[in-house]
Structure 1
Amino acid sequence: MHGNGTAKMPFGGEPPDYMHLRSNESQMQLITMNDTGENTPSGSPCFNTPTRDEPPAVIFIPGKASHLSSCAGTAKWWKSRTHLEKLLIPVCLLLLLLAVVLLAVVLNFDRRREAVKTTAMPTTSASPTELTTTIERSTTTTSTVSPEFNICNTAGCVHAANHLLNSMNTSMDPCQDFFEFACGAWNEAHPIPDDMFAYGTFSYVREQVRQQLRVLLEQEVTSQSHSINMARTAYKTCMNKTQLDELKSRLLFDTLEELGRWPLLQKNWDQSKFDLTDLLMNIRHDYGVDIFFQIYVYADAKNTSRNTLFVDQGILTLGRGSRDYYLNATMFNSHMTAYRKFIQKVAVTLKTDANLTRSDEEIYNDINEVIEFEKKFAKIIVAEDERRNNTRLYNRRNIADLYSLLPKVDWVSFMRRSAPPEMTHLFDNSTEIIIYASLEVSQLVDETDVKLLTNYVIWRVVQSNIRYLDERFDDIKQDFIKVMTGQQQTPPRWKDCAQVPSTVLPLAAGAIYVQAHFNERDKTEALEMIFHLRNSFSELVSNSDWMDEATKNIAIIKAHSMINNIGYPNVTSDLRELDELYRELEILDMDTYYSLMKKAVWWMQNREFRKLTKPFDKHEFDVSPAVVNAFYSPEKNAITFPAGILQPPFFSGSFPKAVNYGAIGAVIGHEITHGFDDQGSQYDKDGNLHNWWSESSMQAFEHRKRCIVEQYGNYTVPKTTYRVNGKLTQGENIADNGGVKEAYRAYQRYVKENGEEPRLPGLQQYSNQQIFFLSYAHFWCGQKKEAAAMQQVLTDEHSPEVFRVMGVLSNMHEFAEVYNCPRGSPINTDNKCIVW
């Protein structure tokens, strides 16, 4: 759920990720793909994540003396005792020990007698196994719990209770730090693995799904579906390390020849053959790389019945939102040094492979020029927190207008040669486009030497494609990632390869996953929850005192008009229709990994361009069901919950409602609320950019948004000195706050209609309302490396997990009442920001 993700899979993706979520795309997701670790295999090697490589800090805690100083003090005290004292002290200690032993024997006899009574008169229906599990994992005794509480001892209740029990740090006051109270034990028991830069409950589920996919993809079976067979071939091709070692960088050098050579390495580059249009067109058509601008096809935001062509600003090598890395030399000098070394190591390795003769000094000087050029490019890029007004970004123009923005590109030729052959007649100077950026790159391109332009453009292609080469380049990339993210080692190859089918054939890979791991009853349960969550949102709107009745009615209609995409699309169950989707993509056993991904880029681009001749499909379920995430698309007014996220510990049909509503219910509410955050509120029920707000309601909405911006902008990001960017994260924060409130209201209505649920075993001392909030916080358990935390505050529209808990709950009167938090405590502040 994020303000600038997307439902569409953009053709011509960025070098960091030719199929990643574009900056202007409007599907909002629960977490960034980087957060989930679900970067596509073609994606950036974690280019947008920084870190300092230094040892952990040693912290002195007042009141806790060190072991050595304690021992020294004890020795000194003993020497000062008299002979009589030295004789009597051991005698007294011995008598005290005997008294303790005698007391323990008496107490144990009483307990055994009570246990016999309990066994003779059982008061619970729990099975011995369930009861043992609950007792062993409980962090608190139940002797003080009133016996009138009904305890749920089903397998689902025990499962849910164990998740929560094993996560809690009950020594923490929940009114002081609820994140630590709910997640302290989980975070301590789950250190970040060496092949990751962050780890949390999301990562836990993602790793589980990835492992399940691996098992399914490695099966030696032949499906009746050609596309499913291609998905398995894609995985096996990626895993063919022997072939990669044999090929080394040979196929990348074929690419350099196709593009006219790389002057940074190759002396025989011919400047007279330089043509910027040809170069940019070839790299996006064959390798899915956009640089100075992005082009994609999606719904016309002011007429979502049709698709249209969009042009937007480019993205830097280090990823979307990464401009601070280039512009803040004081804070990020070490990161840019690591980036420079990364380019240099790649270039020297390629030079050695091809036995090239350019000197290391010449290569180094060219690399410095490339980086200085990109710093100038970074100054032109508009910051993401300034790109949240989609109405203002939308500019309807014609292709002819692009010539004044970037005249060195022959735009008509560029479009015609990028599109499938049968569509070239659709592009001329009068062809309508939507421009989402000013494209102020023209002056920079005009004043830059063509050799430097070529070096930079080719570098973007090289860094995008070295991921398809042998492990030497993985090692080079890992050295860079270690500095940028804190990740200590390269993940095992199967982790990346298991994601390849979900990238290239997302619905075919999803069909494999759903058939093996998705329970149809869970889909029914999720749909029922969505119904109740929508009603909750409608109630919040109806009860608001800052909207007029006309605006309220429109908001409620929009909420009830949302399209539901749950689990998987129907096409995954129809093998003939599934194969028709991938009819023009032919993946063969003989393909190399490099050629396979090149085929995928070409196929995706043609598929996207052909959408220009079709209506916009608001019901298209275009996300792989094997993804652990959730989405909202304002142009579709649709919410999407893939099968990957509909599983424990987030959700199960066997879990109590308090647990489900606290976790996945809050996610559903979050996605619904995205339709009414600072960006989603600009779209109407049909997905069109249209102001449906009255002037008074809009002014009140703006006031409430500012409160959220200021609240979160005052949070300092853990492990950094940076504050959360309240402006950048406002959409996610509004959705978080509204989502939990809607889920809690829906759960309370369930209790009112169905009666109180039995309590969880081992957690009987907590009411189900308290369990609801525990379940919500458990959803966000986890931690990041210091560098990854820094990266998040720079580039991510989502607040750090701790504030997705503490920030939200501090705004809820209901939480303070349920946990009896005193006024003025950290989680019951006097000033509460309430939008919905």
Structure 2
Amino acid sequence: MSIQMETQDYNCMFLGMTPTQIVCNETSERLCTSSDCIRAASYLLESMDFRIDPCEDFYEFTCGNWAKYHTRLDSVTRWSWYDIITKRVEHAIRAFLKSKPAAYESKVIGHCRTMYESCMKLNTSDDQMESGRRRAKELLKEYCFPYIHKEDRNCTFDWKATLEKVYTFLGQLTFRSVNIYSPGIQKKVQHYIDFLQPYETIAIDNPNGLQSFIWWMVIDNLIGSIRFNYNIYYRNISINQSNQCAQLVNDRMGMFLGEVIAMPIFLNETKPKLLNSFEEIRSAFNELVENSDWMDQPTKRAVIEKSQAMKVNIGFAEFLLNKTKVDEYLKDFNFTNSSFLVNEHMIAMGHLQFPFYGLGIEALNYGVAISTLGHEFVHGFGKVKDGWTNQTENEYRNRANCFLEQYKNFDISEIDQAINGTVNGTRTLDENIADTVGLLLAYKAYKIFIKKHGEEEILPAFQTFTPEQLFFIGYGNSYCASATPEELMRSNANDEHSLEKFRVNGVVSNLEEFRATFKCKANSKMVSKNPCRIW
């Protein structure tokens, strides 16, 4: 099968039963024929449903055919671009950990290999299972967590003192923004308790409070040493130990494994470009603040001062390039015992790859990767509004409440008729604001880029689309996913993010920039009757 797309200046077609290869007869200097452009165009053509009006359902327009060409296995409850890249990174890390060490490898990479080899020696015997339980219990008792033998209630739990001990013991403990009262967190705590005390030797005091949260955080670190057994015990599933151990090393040592995939092109080209994009984000944000009509001057000064002070680590922290500092950081950790107690870090750099970056044209890169930079930039201001006047903070709350009311009316049955309910506008509020403002900042940053560098080349087979339209298409496509009804319900009940469809449609419906770009009519579904906007 071949489908031909023609305009006055271009003649392009994609070949095969699926649109995985594009052939273009170049008749214009502005047509991008690089491998990155051709690959990006192919993937977009696979995902998009051109029968859908983008002004009526932008998510279906960008992702309507995604599941058809990206099959979710029955054993997988959710499948998305993020999951695909995560698996790609995990496979690369596993292959590296199984490979023969190179002579020039750093000491920390040697530690990663040691941890992997130690994990591979674990087995599912009853002795190993009981050993893992016993070690966790000993540690919890030593640090006076709400684990108490029934015959021993001499421990007094002091959460401040405990956190100090935990920090000393683990070396580092990162507390994320987690709703400790969510059913998902409580269920996970209970799963770990069930695993650790099959014979009712553990008592939990105040299970819904701060103690429960700290308990969960520490067990989540400790469980690395017995996760292989835990999965088999609780989930009753058959797993590949090599995959599980590679994932464990990635969870605990991911920040250091960035060295494995840090190619020279990333250090010399990609990272400097992303740092420039971050400065464009900052500039766009500062301009929005300066032009806002609801913030008074003292608050504007405080916000811009904080904006100017913000920094970003792209890919990995710079100190990781200093092997002396890394060795000092890790000098007290034991990589051969069964604890594996290095705190987990995401390999952000592992996700700065196709289809989130390297998409041929900057319109797509800004719509995907740079909108993520914008999202995180917004999060950098947190919930505490330092230096804000009461009047401005009250106005911010009013504007934020618009998002709460908007999202709580999104019906999740739009995704799958087998489920029902609405988005929790309160729990997802911060993420919804960051999504919207982040995409707006990326759009304005792209305009700054174009002003500096001029118009871009045109994506093959998408010559009828403007760069601005491709910017939004890139954003929408990055959230393509498929999931079981049960997984959709679970995510909607527990996740601090909205479901993917609403992370796309909810955001674009608030942006005048989207409406103008696609020339949507005022009564279109993707044009909110009461658009929410902070800046």
TM-score by length of 2: 0.81
**Pair 530,252 (structure 1): closer, same or farther in 2 beyond 3 Å:** closer
Matches of 2:473 and 2:322, distance apart in 1: 40
Per mean C-alpha deviation after superposition, the further-off stretch among 773-782 and 149-158 is 149-158
Q: Secondary structure at the match of 1:137?
A: coil
Matches of 2:367 and 2:31, distance apart in 1: 19
- Residue 262 of structure 2: which of 514, 532, 547 is its match? 514
Q: Is the contact between residue 258 and residue 350 of structure 2 (CA under 8 Å) also seen in structure 1?
A: no
Matches of 1:712 and 1:699, distance apart in 2: 20
Q: Does 1:693 align with 2:366?
A: no
Q: For residues 243-265 of structure 1, give each alpha carbon's deviation from its aligned partner in whole angstroms, at most 9, with x where no partner exists.
A: 4448443414654895899xxxx
- Residue 651 of structure 1: which of 357, 365, 368 is its match? 357
The match for 1:474 is 231
**Pair 564,468 (structure 1): closer, same or farther in 2 beyond 3 Å:** closer
Matches of 1:260 and 1:562, distance apart in 2: 38
The match for 2:153 is 275
Question: Which letter maps to 2:274?
Answer: A
Matches of 2:23 and 2:35, distance apart in 1: 21
Question: Which letter maps to 1:249?
Answer: M
Q: How does 1:685-724 map to 2 (within 5 A)?
A: 690=386, 692-717=387-412, 718-719=415-416, 720-724=419-423
The match for 2:379 is 674
Question: Which letter maps to 2:84?
Answer: Y
The match for 2:19 is 137
Matches of 2:137 and 2:40, distance apart in 1: 58
Q: For residues 163-190 of structure 1, give each alpha carbon's deviation from its aligned partner in whole angstroms, at most 9, with x where no partner exists.
A: 2122111111111111111011112222
**Pair 755,511 (structure 1): closer, same or farther in 2 beyond 3 Å:** closer
Q: Does 1:802 align with 2:508?
A: no
Matches of 1:524 and 1:175, distance apart in 2: 36
- Residue 320 of structure 1: which of 181, 185, 189 is its match? 185
Q: For residues 8-57 of structure 1, give each alpha carbon's deviation from its aligned partner in whole angstroms, at most 9, with x where no partner exists.
A: xxxxxxxxxxxxxxxxxxxxxxxxxxxxxxxxxxxxxxxxxxxxxxxxxx
Matches of 2:397 and 2:227, distance apart in 1: 47
Q: How does 1:16-55 map to 2 (within 5 A)?
A: none
Q: Does 1:583 align with 2:463?
A: no
Matches of 1:139 and 1:467, distance apart in 2: 45
- Residue 468 of structure 2: which of 769, 774, 778 is its match? 769
Matches of 2:179 and 2:88, distance apart in 1: 35
**Pair 478,346 (structure 1): closer, same or farther in 2 beyond 3 Å:** farther
Q: Is the contact between residue 14 and residue 23 of structure 2 (CA under 8 Å) also seen in structure 1?
A: no
**Pair 176,346 (structure 1): closer, same or farther in 2 beyond 3 Å:** farther
Q: Secondary structure at the match of 1:566?
A: coil
Q: Secondary structure at the match of 2:101?
A: coil
Q: Does 1:544 align with 2:292?
A: yes
The match for 2:365 is 660
The match for 2:145 is none
- Residue 430 of structure 2: which of 722, 726, 731 is its match? 731
**Pair 742,294 (structure 1): closer, same or farther in 2 beyond 3 Å:** farther
Question: Which letter maps to 2:163?
Answer: Y
Q: How does 1:352-367 map to 2 (within 5 A)?
A: none
CA RMSD of aligned residues (A): 4.5
- Note the residue ranges of structure 2 that are not aligned, 5 or more in a row: 142-147, 166-171
Deviation of 1:469 (Å) = 5.5
Q: Is the contact between residue 249 and residue 469 of structure 1 (CA under 8 Å) also seen in structure 2?
A: no
Question: Which letter maps to 1:227?
Answer: V
Q: Secondary structure at the match of 2:163?
A: strand
Q: Is the contact between residue 9 and residue 28 of structure 2 (CA under 8 Å) also seen in structure 1?
A: no
The match for 2:481 is 782
Matches of 1:646 and 1:822, distance apart in 2: 36
The match for 2:459 is 760
Q: For residues 421-479 of structure 1, give each alpha carbon's deviation from its aligned partner in whole angstroms, at most 9, with x where no partner exists.
A: xxxxxxxxxxxxxxxx6x799xxxxxxxxxxxxxx99xx89994784465xx5344225
Deviation of 1:560 (Å) = 1.9
The match for 2:510 is 811
The match for 2:246 is 498
Matches of 2:297 and 2:231, distance apart in 1: 59
Deviation of 1:724 (Å) = 1.4
Matches of 1:158 and 1:248, distance apart in 2: 51
Q: Secondary structure at the match of 1:563?
A: coil
Q: Is the contact between residue 81 and residue 481 of structure 2 (CA under 8 Å) also seen in structure 1?
A: yes
Q: How does 1:389-408 map to 2 (within 5 A)?
A: none
Q: How does 1:135-174 map to 2 (within 5 A)?
A: 137=19, 150-174=30-54
Q: Is the contact between residue 13 and residue 23 of structure 2 (CA under 8 Å) also seen in structure 1?
A: no
**Pair 814,140 (structure 1): closer, same or farther in 2 beyond 3 Å:** farther
**Pair 554,218 (structure 1): closer, same or farther in 2 beyond 3 Å:** same
Q: Secondary structure at the match of 1:658?
A: helix
Q: How does 1:33-432 map to 2 (within 5 A)?
A: 137=19, 150-221=30-101, 224-240=105-121, 243-245=123-125, 247-252=127-132, 254-255=134-135, 273-277=151-155, 295-296=162-163, 319-320=184-185, 343=194, 347=198, 377=206, 380-381=208-209
Question: Which letter maps to 2:120?
Answer: M
Q: Is the contact between residue 293 and residue 313 of structure 1 (CA under 8 Å) also seen in structure 2?
A: no
Matches of 1:727 and 1:317, distance apart in 2: 13
Q: How many pairs are equivalent?
A: 510
Deviation of 1:377 (Å) = 4.6
Matches of 2:281 and 2:178, distance apart in 1: 37
Q: For residues 296-340 of structure 1, give each alpha carbon's deviation from its aligned partner in whole angstroms, at most 9, with x where no partner exists.
A: 359xxxxxxxx9999x999589753669x99xxxxxxxxxxxx79
**Pair 513,825 (structure 1): closer, same or farther in 2 beyond 3 Å:** same
Q: Is the contact between residue 668 and residue 739 of structure 1 (CA under 8 Å) also seen in structure 2?
A: yes
Q: For residues 58-77 of structure 1, give each alpha carbon's deviation from its aligned partner in whole angstroms, at most 9, with x where no partner exists.
A: xxxxxxxxxxxxxxxxxxxx
Matches of 1:260 and 1:541, distance apart in 2: 48
TM-score by length of 1: 0.54
Deviation of 1:518 (Å) = 4.1
Question: Which letter maps to 1:576?
Answer: T
Matches of 1:135 and 1:469, distance apart in 2: 41
Matches of 1:733 and 1:212, distance apart in 2: 33
**Pair 236,345 (structure 1): closer, same or farther in 2 beyond 3 Å:** closer
Deviation of 1:513 (Å) = 3.2
Q: Secondary structure at the match of 2:312?
A: strand
Matches of 2:51 and 2:226, distance apart in 1: 46
- Note the residue ranges of structure 1 that are not aligned, 5 or more in a row: 1-110, 262-268, 282-291, 299-306, 327-338, 348-362, 382-436, 442-455, 480-488, 589-594, 605-621, 628-641, 684-689
Q: For residues 702-742 of structure 1, give each alpha carbon's deviation from its aligned partner in whole angstroms, at most 9, with x where no partner exists.
A: 11011011001111234432321111111111111101111
Q: Secondary structure at the match of 1:193?
A: coil
Question: Which letter maps to 1:521?
Answer: E
Q: Secondary structure at the match of 2:234?
A: helix
**Pair 768,578 (structure 1): closer, same or farther in 2 beyond 3 Å:** same
Deviation of 1:794 (Å) = 2.4
Q: Secondary structure at the match of 2:155?
A: helix
Q: Secondary structure at the match of 2:110?
A: helix
